[in-house]
Amino acid sequence: MNDRGNSPASRDIAHYLHPFTNLAAHEINGPHIVAKGRGVYVTDESGKEYIEGLAGLWCASFGFEEEELVKAATEQLRTLPYYHGFAGKSVHPAIDLAEKLKEIAPVEFSKVFFANSGSEANDSAVKMVWYFNNARGTPKKKKFISRLRGYHGVTVAAGSLTGLPYAQADFDLPLDFVRHTMTPDYYRGGEVGESEEDFASRCAQALEDMILEEGPETVAAFIAEPVMGAGGVILPPKTYFEKIQAVLKKYDVLMIADEVICGFGRTGNMWGSQTYGIQPDILTCAKALSSAYLPISAVMISEEIYQGLRGNSEKLGLFGHGYTYSAHPACAAVALRTQQLMQERDIIGHVRTVAPQFQKRIAALGAHDMVGNARGVGLIGAVEIAADKETKRAYDPAAKVGALIQNAAQEHGLITRAMPGDILGFCPPLIISASEIDEMFDRFTRALDEAAMQLKQQGATAAQ
């Protein structure tokens, strides 16, 4: 461990267990401490400013200095800093927010349940589905089908739904109620001569085959992100959700839309479900619900599911699920103000105005020698690095090319994220301007050029 005296870095290393971090490497490298933010920029403790190209963790939709959200939090903290929702207790912000979410939802929902994170929302959805199937007399219907490379959180149930090795390795996950079907990644998974529509049909057939193999009477729900985020910003191929939902309907399997990343304008509509024609029975959301200013998430459920929960709670005496901080009044107040600002400032209209420039710039990166595939929708996108553009051959993972580019981008004043498979993601605050989009991609292009030169000098090898 480096001796940094009593500096913030040394104290961080000594005391703070970081999430999603190589803990041994962190003892050597120490933290990158971010001190303040303004708009789409954050500044570290040395005074260097960065464009936050991933809105933190896909979440700070209003950037880093929205005074209206600060005001909403402080006013609520002065009025009623905390109360709970157990045993029928309530607070005004929770009532108002639930009503607002139902108003803007992509389909008609009956009730809204609040939690504190996307992971908790998806965990809650699992328990609700089990409770519902017990209530309606189908107790064998307990299995969930997720997708390889899907990301649904890291709590025990949500971590089981996640289809990424790092969230499961040595955590003894996934639990045995989860099955994972194929990733709808046309770039990597499409066969020679296979159209997107045909690939989507193959994905749907794989799902149907899995349901039949498991037994339809045992399969409760299918969960999917409209656009797969942490798995590499995978856009669904044409007709994918249309065909998937036909299979689910055929076998009485619930559709859960995980809108934790896609919800609240990211894809150019309020919901990814609207962008891709999804009709969910359950919808989970978080992140941009409050622009991440305070932690809050929500689960919206259909009337049929609510009636199952209602009946079982009457039989058992209560619906025995919830959290101390469910619909925390300050968090709910900030989320409510966030959604009001979405409408007052026509944020979705702004996204639709600047998204063509975002998509033009990300598509142009597809011509770069290092980029095998560039993709996106709305204000979310990614570039996938390839050692050989024609064959799609990847770099040896040991070369850590994605991390190399991520670090080069940071040196050039841009924070982005390298994901497994050498994929670099972009998901800036929704308030980003066209000129800031250009600056973001200019900085990334310089980083990409620098990384390409460094790899050439190193003679990096490609995986076969």
Q: Tell me the pLDDT band of 1, cut-offs 50, 70 and 90.
A: very low
Could you tell me what percent of the chain has a pLDDT over 70?
Answer: 98
Could you tell me what percent of the chain has a pLDDT over 90?
Answer: 96
Domain boundaries, the chain: 32-65+346-458, 68-344
Q: Tell me the C-alpha distance between 5 and 10, whole Å.
A: 6
| pLDDT tens, residue by residue, 113-129 | 999 999 999 999 999 99
SS (H, E, C) the chain: CCCCCCCHHHHHHHHCCCCCCCHHHHHHHCCCCEEEEECCEEEECCCCEEEECCHHHHCCCCCCCCHHHHHHHHHHHHHCCCCCCHHHCCCHHHHHHHHHHHHHCCCCCCEEEEECCHHHHHHHHHHHHHHHHHHCCCCCCCEEEEECCCCCCCCHHHHHHCCCHHHCCCCCCCCCCEEEECCCCHHHHCCCCCCHHHHHHHHHHHHHHHHHHHCHHHEEEEEECCCECCCCCECCCCCHHHHHHHHHHHCCCEEEEECCCCCCCCCCCCCHHHHHCCCCCEEEECHHHCCCCCCCEEEEECHHHHHHHHHHHHHHCCCCCCCCCCCCHHHHHHHHHHHHHHHHCCHHHHHHHHHHHHHHHHHHHHHCCCEEEEEEECCEEEEEECCECCCCECECHHHCHHHHHHHHHHHCCEECEEECCCEEEECCCCCCCHHHHHHHHHHHHHHHHHHHHHHHHHCCCECC
**What pLDDT shows up at residue 457?**
84
Mean pLDDT across 6-20: 96
Q: Tell me the C-alpha distance between 99 and 112, whole Å.
A: 8
Mean pLDDT across 263-274: 98
**What pLDDT shows up at residue 464?**
42
**What pLDDT shows up at residue 4?**
61
* Burial of residue 404 (number of CB atoms within 10 Å: 0-12, 13-18, 19+): buried
- CATH code of the domain occupying 32-65+346-458: 3.90.1150.10
Q: Tell me the C-alpha distance between 139 and 337, whole Å.
A: 41
Instruction: At 370, give phi and psi (nearest 5°).
Output: -90, -15
At the topology level, CATH places domain 68-344 in Aspartate Aminotransferase; domain 2 (3.40.640)
Q: Which two tokens stand for residue 68?
A: 């209206």
**What pLDDT shows up at residue 5?**
75
* pTM of the full structure: 0.95
Average pLDDT, the chain: 96
Mean pLDDT across 200-207: 98
pLDDT over 70 at 462, yes or no: no
- Check: CB of residue 268 under 8 Å from CB of residue 282: no
pLDDT over 50 at 166, yes or no: yes
pLDDT over 80 at 463, yes or no: no
Put residue 3 in one of left, alpha, beta given phi > 0 → left and psi -120 to 50 → alpha. Answer: beta
pLDDT over 90 at 111, yes or no: yes
| pLDDT tens, residue by residue, 320-330 | 999 999 999 99
Q: Tell me the pLDDT band of 2, cut-offs 50, 70 and 90.
A: very low
Mean pLDDT across 358-376: 97
Mean pLDDT across 84-94: 97
* C-alpha distances out from residue 216 to 143, 210, 212, 220, 320, Å: 10, 9, 6, 8, 28
Instruction: At 335, give phi and psi (nearest 5°).
Output: -65, -45
Neighbours of 329 (CB within 10 A): 23
Of the CA atoms within 13 Å of residue 219, those in its CB half-sphere come to 27
**What pLDDT shows up at residue 442?**
98
Mean pLDDT across 219-236: 98
The residue that leads in pLDDT, 274 or 3, is 274
Name the β-bridge partners of 388: 393
Mean pLDDT across 290-316: 97
Mean pLDDT across 238-267: 98
Mean pLDDT across 153-165: 98
pLDDT over 70 at 110, yes or no: yes
**What pLDDT shows up at residue 61?**
98
Q: Tell me the pLDDT band of 178, cut-offs 50, 70 and 90.
A: very high
Mean pLDDT across 405-424: 97
pLDDT over 70 at 255, yes or no: yes
